[in-house]
Chains A and B, each alone.
Chain A
């Protein structure tokens, strides 16, 4: 009986196996329909509400030091927001490390406003009832780079090192499923349910790692940033949870952004 069942399973797997290749390419009617739907939704993206909220949080004196973030240096000088997101991750001499946008914003909230890292890292992701401040602020900062070309810095040795570390993380297989990021995102024509998965090792597809984030997720109506997106990928791989806004996350974001460099960042996204 058991053997018969195993055989049945094997037959089912064999029947299903060739299917992903056959369905592989971009001429997928389901994906095309969804793109149409997304285009309609983008005309009035609730992400703009979080952008407005983030701008207000950026300008308002807050925290134990009662300071605004207008002295926060995102790499283009204190207070310069326009275009900063498209040029991150980058090296910051004051902390001697590479930081992505959200990591830098968290850093500014700690140093300028006196917030505590533990408090910010306790519940860093949005829920139905609460959107953490760094998420709204990152949304605001990202929106000010809409329409610009991605130009992550790769001049400082630490920026080059971050790319190499990020690459290693991307291909590092571990966890209960022996997965790596590359298991899903290093191969052409993969899909998860109806979602086609981009191959981030190809420059023309790597943009899809960055595009659309920060994004408003219609499921649950929550705002998410790349920090959440990567965190959730690690959860799906059954990896230990990465530290929020850590150097490791910045390194992985460096790898993904550099692969997509030169391509246009279209701004805030809307997700299924």
Chain B
């Protein structure tokens, strides 16, 4: 089972700033260990939802680094709203985590 993400979401006005840290090896398939190539293993899709409604989705490739960071802004959010992020990788593994948007300073 994949390790949890860390999601930080703070709102300023009606725009939420969301930062997501994902724990994933993101193997490119190019790396070798003990002479043998390490098989391709990378996140293919990322979806973010605000209160259950998809606001962001992306298809990404093995060009993204290990333990990637994603940051995005969502309009029309307020403190207390829920942000849900899901990733799915090429081995069919996936992970979903949720956080509550906090009021900004």
Which of A49, A220, A221 is close to B3, meaning CB atoms less than 8 Å apart? A49
Q: How large is the interface on B (under 10, 10 to 19, 20 to 34, 35 or more residues)?
A: 10 to 19
A46 at the B interface (CB under 8 A): yes
Report whether B21 and A49 are in contact in the complex, using a CB–CB cutoff of 8 Å.
yes
Point out the residue from A44, A48, A221 that lies within 8 Å of B66, measured CB to CB.
A221
What would be 16 A-B contacts, judged by CB atoms less than 8 Å apart? A43-B19, A45-B21, A46-B21, A46-B23, A48-B6, A49-B23, A52-B3, A52-B4, A53-B3, A128-B31, A129-B33, A129-B38, A216-B67, A218-B65, A220-B66, A221-B65
Closest to B6 in A: A48
- Which residues of B have CB within 8 Å of A46? 21, 23, 67, 69
A residues lining the B interface (CB < 8 Å): 43-46, 48-49, 52-53, 128-129, 216, 218, 220-221
Contact A44 B21 (CB under 8 A): yes
Q: Which residues on B sit within 8 Å (CB–CB) of A44?
A: 8, 19, 21, 69, 71
**Binary per-residue interface labels of chain B (22-56) against chain A in the complex, 1 for a CB within 8 Å, 0 otherwise:** 11011000010100001000000000000000000
**Residues in A whose Cβ lies below 8 Å from that of B67:** 46, 49, 216, 221
Chain B contact surface mostly = loop
- For the complex with contacts A44-B19, A46-B21, A129-B38, 9 further pairs of A-B residues with Cβ separation under 8 Å are A44-B69, A45-B21, A46-B67, A49-B22, A52-B3, A53-B23, A128-B25, A221-B66, A221-B67
User: Residues of B contacting A45 with CB < 8 Å?
Assistant: 21
Return chain A residues, CB-CB under 8 Å to B33: 128-129
**Closest chain B residue to A223, Cβ basis:** B67
> Mask for B50-84, Cβ within 8 A of A = 1, else 0?
00000000000000011101010000000000000
Q: Give the interface SS of chain A, mostly helix, strand, loop or mixed.
A: loop
| CB of B41 to closest CB in A, whole Å | 10
Contacts of A218 in B (CB 8 A): 65
10 nearest A-B residue pairs (beta carbon): A221-B66, A46-B67, A44-B69, A49-B23, A44-B19, A48-B6, A221-B67, A49-B21, A46-B21, A44-B21
A59 to chain B, nearest CB (A): 14
User: CB within 8 Å of A: which of B1-28?
Assistant: 3-4, 6, 8, 19, 21-23, 25-26
Residues of A within 8 A of B66 (CB): 128, 220-221
B31 to A, closest residue via Cβ: A128
Q: By the criterion CB–CB under 8 Å, are B6 and A52 in contact?
A: yes
On whether the beta carbons of B21 and A48 are closer than 8 Å, the reply is yes
How long is the Cα–Cα vector from A43 to B10 in the complex, in angstroms?
A: 13
Assembled-state Cα–Cα distance A221/B42 (Å)? 14
Which A residues touch B4, using CB under 8 A? 52
Q: A48 — nearest CB in chain B belongs to which residue? A: B6
Q: CA A220 – CA B28 in complex, angstroms?
A: 12
Q: Given the complex, which residues of A lie within 8 Å of B22, measured CB to CB?
A: 49
In the complex, A177→B3 CA distance in Å?
43
CA distance A75 to B10 in the complex (A): 36
Q: Least Cβ distance of A3 to chain B in Å?
A: 45
A13 CA to B38 CA in the complex, in Å? 43
- Among B31, B65, B69, find the residue whose CB has the most chain A CB atoms closer than 10 A: B69
**Smallest CB–CB gap between A97 and chain B, Å?**
34
